[in-house]
């Protein structure tokens, strides 16, 4: 639900890579088109709008003092307080989210699909699974799918639009003969278009830094959370200094005024839940005790990883899960950036603005480690052990210029070498954006719709 457009430099980079029409100035109208911003602080801002389908708020009515103190801690450290929707995002600020005035998630289903359900030209089929796109003479003619265990077929008269996300979209294309020829050949799939589908997989990874605080301060406990926002109340975007001349932040901090659960249950068989790891997760106590702990959790997040993975088919069977190979931290630079993020969290807790919380960060020294807890060696080891996904996969159907051999799509999101086929989702991004991918993905949908309408009007389908 967190809502940020990310950095203007992200989209200007898309344009410099040959994706005409995707610069910040090109995409800003689509960000404005979708938005119904109900936060009073942005009522007169030219960078915000009311009246769009998707409600955005800064949850002022329920934001804790701890989140405000976090932002002031950033100012104390020399950063600006920023509007994280402005495009110029380096600094600290409160974090908008797509929640309406009634505390309901303002989802794309609620805001786009539900109002259109009665249209005669829309049919929504649930419990359906696309198995293959039929292509004849390099043109899409139909889509095969399973519904309730039965095979179905949809004829395509103009074009098909794939919106399966960075995992399922490349899977559908490869099952249909669009992808790396050698890989498809290994699975007995005839190659129709030899394209780098599934390559360029990138994702944001994060690590939880938990701190217990002095009882009685303005934080939340797990048993008293009001779920009218997503608990991430503030954020920071910074440059760690490990790279020079970068136009965007390389580190993000997510601030939550609560002692967050790690994301894996105590009863899980996950190796992180082995007894010696429980103190790092805050699970070395009973569930009842943990629900009442007053604490703060800050998530350092790696924004622009150098490590790149890929999606491959496990088999030619469409119901088999694909192989998702992220290659997290295969480039040593990424762990170093994350360590700088952890060190920034420590500095935040040491500011005058946060002093009243008397934050005590959980031990970061791993069992058996011979290194000091705050040494580079120990923190890199800690990152490699505890980093986890933020579920922001992108890039596996990359768009690019005509001479870009790593691109699957042209800047109009059309699949190269196949007529009547587009991909419109986060998989089209050439590289990761500087922040959460929810809002940018909706923008891609808005722009993709305009591209389709324009080509339909010009009879280019």
- Strand 421-423 to 160-162 pairing: parallel
* Residue pair 431/13 in contact by the 8 Å Cβ criterion: yes
| Long-range contacts (CB closer than 8 Å, 24 or more residues apart) made by 174-183 | 174/198, 174/313, 175/131, 175/132, 175/313, 175/316, 175/318, 176/132, 176/133, 176/134, 176/135, 177/135, 178/133, 178/135, 178/415, 178/417, 178/418, 183/312, 183/313
- Strand 178-179 to 193-194 pairing: parallel
Phi, psi of 16 (to 5 degrees): -65, -25
CA distance 362 to 373: 11
CA atoms within 13 A on the CB side of 357: 31
Question: What is the tally of helices (H) and strands (E) in the chain?
Answer: 11, 19
SS3 274: coil
CA distances, 88 to each of 60, 237, 396 (Å): 22, 10, 27
- Stretch (H or E) spanning 344: helix 332-349
> Catalytic positions, please?
392
Please count the other Cβ atoms lying within 10 Å of the Cβ belonging to residue 421: 25
């Amino acid at each position: 639900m967190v809502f940020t457009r990310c950095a203007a430099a992200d989209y200007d980079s898309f344009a410099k890579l040959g994706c005409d029409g995707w610069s910040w100035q090109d995409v800003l109208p689509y960000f404005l088109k979708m938005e119904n911003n109900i936060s009073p602080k942005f009522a007169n801002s030219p960078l915000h709008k009311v009246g769009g389908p998707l409600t955005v708020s800064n949850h002022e009515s329920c934001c804790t003092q701890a989140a405000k103190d976090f932002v002031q801690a950033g100012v104390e450290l020399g950063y600006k307080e920023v509007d994280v929707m402005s495009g110029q995002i380096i600094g600290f600020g409160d974090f908008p989210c797509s929640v309406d005035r009634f505390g309901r998630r303002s989802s794309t289903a609620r805001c786009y699909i539900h109002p259109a359900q009665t249209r005669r030209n829309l049919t929504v089929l649930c419990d359906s699974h696309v198995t293959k796109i039929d292509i004849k003479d390099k043109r899409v003619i139909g889509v095969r799918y399973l519904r309730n265990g039965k095979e179905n077929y949809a004829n395509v008269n103009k074009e098909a639009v794939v919106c399966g996300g960075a995992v399922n979209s490349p899977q559908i294309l490869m099952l249909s003969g669009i992808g790396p020829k050698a890989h498809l050949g290994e699975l007995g799939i005839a190659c129709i278009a030899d394209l780098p589908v599934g390559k360029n997989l990138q994702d944001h990874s994060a690590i939880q830094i938990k701190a217990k605080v002095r009882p009685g301060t303005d934080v939340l406990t797990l048993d008293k959370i009001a779920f009218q926002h997503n608990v991430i109340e503030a954020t920071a975007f910074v440059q760690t200094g490990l790279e020079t001349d970068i136009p965007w932040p390389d580190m993000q901090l997510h601030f939550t005024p609560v002692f967050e659960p790690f994301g894996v249950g105590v009863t899980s068989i996950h190796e992180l839940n082995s007894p010696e790891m429980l103190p790092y997760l805050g699970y070395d106590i009973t569930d009842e005790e943990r629900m009442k702990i007053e604490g703060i959790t800050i998530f350092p997040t790696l924004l622009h990883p150098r490590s790149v993975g890929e999606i491959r088919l496990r088999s030619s069977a469409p119901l088999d899960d694909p192989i998702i190979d992220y290659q997290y931290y295969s480039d040593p630079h990424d762990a170093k950036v994350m360590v700088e993020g952890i060190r920034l969290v420590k500095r935040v807790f040491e500011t005058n603005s946060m002093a009243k919380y008397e934050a005590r960060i959980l031990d970061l020294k791993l069992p058996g480690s011979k290194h000091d807890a705050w040494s580079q060696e120990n923190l890199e080891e800690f990152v490699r052990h505890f980093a986890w996904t933020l579920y922001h996969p992108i890039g596996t159907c990359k768009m690019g210029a005509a001479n870009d051999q790593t691109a699957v799509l042209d800047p109009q999101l059309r699949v190269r070498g196949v007529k009547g086929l587009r991909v419109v989702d986060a998989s089209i991004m050439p590289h990761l954006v500087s922040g959460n991918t929810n809002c940018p993905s909706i923008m891609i949908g808005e722009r993709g719709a305009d591209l389709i309408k324009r080509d339909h009007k010009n009879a280019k389908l």
